[in-house]
Amino acid sequence: MGNIAPALLEDLRKVLGETGLIEAAFAGPADSEGWIARPASTEEVAATMKLCHDAGQPVIPIGGRTGLVQALSRTGHELGLSLERMRAVEEIDPTSRTMTVQAGVPLQIAQEIAEEHGLMFPLDLGARGTATIGGNIATNAGGNRVLRWGMTRDMVIALEAVLADGTILPLQGKALKNNTGYDLKHLLIGSEGTLGIVTRAILRVRPKPKSENCAFVAIPNFETLTKFLSYMEGQSSGSLSSFEVLWSDYYEFITGDMTPHNPPIAYGQAYYVLVETMGADPKKDATDFEELLGEAFEQELIADAVIAKSESERHALWHIRDDVLQLWQLSPLFTFDVSLAIAQMDNYTSEIKRRFDETFDNPQVMIFGHLGDGNLHVIVAPGDKGLDTHHMVEEIIYDAIRSRNGSVSAEHGIGLEKKGYLSYSRNADEIALMRKIKQAFDPKGILNPGKIFDVD
């Protein structure tokens, strides 16, 4: 790929204005700097893409820059296309329980505006303040409440998107049911900006819960952990919204001397669970929650528990789970996002820890995850800065996933980071079909080229 042609840059300035085309970093590092288009409307996105399509100019769509799989990394002289100027929440419809937003709206803003109207947008993750709705859709983000409300895919009713040649796929209606042929939005959700650029979305929102009850509990072993999950799912009358598990290594680090967090429960157990329910009757729900945990203690499903008695205490408990940036003190650090059957998690984590101990002198392995949806986040600090270290770590993580028919990516996507391991979770026929879909949507291969898989 050559440099972006001066004539194309001039044409883009005519469409976007002087402030709509800048030179800046795509995702932070200086080596990712380049030209970034900043359209302010769907029409400007379409005009930008038409110009790029005609010129054969590759484009990388940019959301909140919180991705973890190098989806924004440049492989040549791609033009960045940021949705940062498209940040409007266009409509809240309490009757239909929908919210219409532009793709650049940060997740936290969508949450807060929904809340102002007595509603809740259930998607939630640690990067809520920066991650955008468009980015969440592009990666099919999961987050902390998947157990009850599902992935981003389950919260999207309709999409507006711009294809590689500038064609606009229009926003459909608010109806939840639409069985008229292929549902194109589901191809775009999770496609990492390789099939089209999402510009607007109609999101499904829910009535705001009137109660939130949260606790940290300690559990001695994995068998008891799975029994406690089944117990909470079965006895909470559908109110269980989060079940976040912290392996002891992660819990002890995140509440240790190197961080600002204090341990809410004493060390000494194998697992620590942040469990939360949401309901409609604050007084009754609080009583029921305490009784559930009391019964769990009597059945020896939990060894200890602390219940948040205020919103500030609840936030403090969640901050222990969410403050993963503390882990960068252990650099060099490699992060993984995998999924597999719950029944296989214990032997999976035992295998990778054994292999890391056999391969490196003093590795640290931190694990936490949503568990109920089979999703584990594995953080590895191998204590080795060798050139092949990253590859060695990946092989251990992904070999053990492949042998268990798991997924190398539960919710973060593929990007460049996991492209070499896509075949560990998808067979040749599946990948061939994906390539055909890419060809149909983007025949010139200009949208986020080289991500997920190479295009011939």
Alpha carbons 121 and 200: distance in angstroms, whole number:
16
Q: Which residues of 198-223 are buried (b: 16+ CB within 10 A; e: fewer)?
A: bbbbbbbbeeebebbbbbbbbbbebe
DSSP state of 57: -
Q: Taking residues 451-456, what's their average pLDDT? A: 83
Q: What angle do CA 60, 63, 66 make, to 5 degrees?
A: 110
Distance of CA 275 to the CA centre of its chain: 20
Please state, for a pLDDT cut of 70, what percent of the chain lies above it. 98
Please state, for a pLDDT cut of 90, what percent of the chain lies above it. 86
Amino acid 29: pLDDT = 58
Amino acid 219: pLDDT = 98
Q: Taking residues 339-355, what's their average pLDDT? A: 97
Alpha carbons 402 and 96: distance in angstroms, whole number:
42
- Residue 2's pLDDT band (cuts 50, 70, 90): very low
Q: Taking residues 189-206, what's their average pLDDT? A: 97
Could you tell me the domains of the chain?
6-82 (3.30.43.10), 89-207 (3.30.465.10), 211-324 (3.30.70.2190), 331-414 (3.30.70.2740)
- Residue 25's pLDDT band (cuts 50, 70, 90): confident
- Residue 109's pLDDT band (cuts 50, 70, 90): very high
pLDDT tens-digit map of 121-142? 999 988 899 999 999 999 999 9
Alpha carbons 352 and 423: distance in angstroms, whole number:
20
* Under 8 Å between Cβ of 450 and 416: yes
* Under 8 Å between Cβ of 120 and 208: yes
Ranges of H-type helices in 299-388: 311-322, 345-359
Q: Taking residues 142-165, what's their average pLDDT? A: 94
pTM: predicted TM-score of the whole model, two decimal places: 0.92
Closest CA to 365 of 388, 393, 323, 401: 393
Alpha carbons 166 and 280: distance in angstroms, whole number:
46
Amino acid 213: pLDDT = 97
Q: Taking residues 406-432, what's their average pLDDT? A: 95
Which are the contacts of 43, defined by CB distance < 8 A and separation ≥ 6? none
* Under 8 Å between Cβ of 110 and 88: no
Which are the contacts of 378, defined by CB distance < 8 A and separation ≥ 6? 335, 336, 337, 338, 349, 352, 365, 366, 367, 397
- Neighbouring C-beta atoms of residue 298, cutoff 10 Å: 9
Alpha carbons 9 and 401: distance in angstroms, whole number:
45
Q: Find the helix or strand (DSSP H, E) in which 368 lies.
A: strand 364-369
pLDDT at 8 over 50: yes
Amino acid 337: pLDDT = 95
pLDDT tens-digit map of 281-317? 999 999 999 999 999 999 999 999 999 999 999 999 9
Q: Which stretch of 26-40, 153-167, 168-182 has the lowest confidence by average pLDDT? A: 26-40
Q: Which stretch of 10-14, 18-22, 65-69, 110-114 has the lowest confidence by average pLDDT? A: 65-69
Amino acid 336: pLDDT = 96
Amino acid 277: pLDDT = 97
* Inter-CA distances, 249 with 30, 92, 272, 275, Å: 34, 43, 10, 19
- Residue 28's pLDDT band (cuts 50, 70, 90): low
Amino acid 339: pLDDT = 96
DSSP state of 153: G
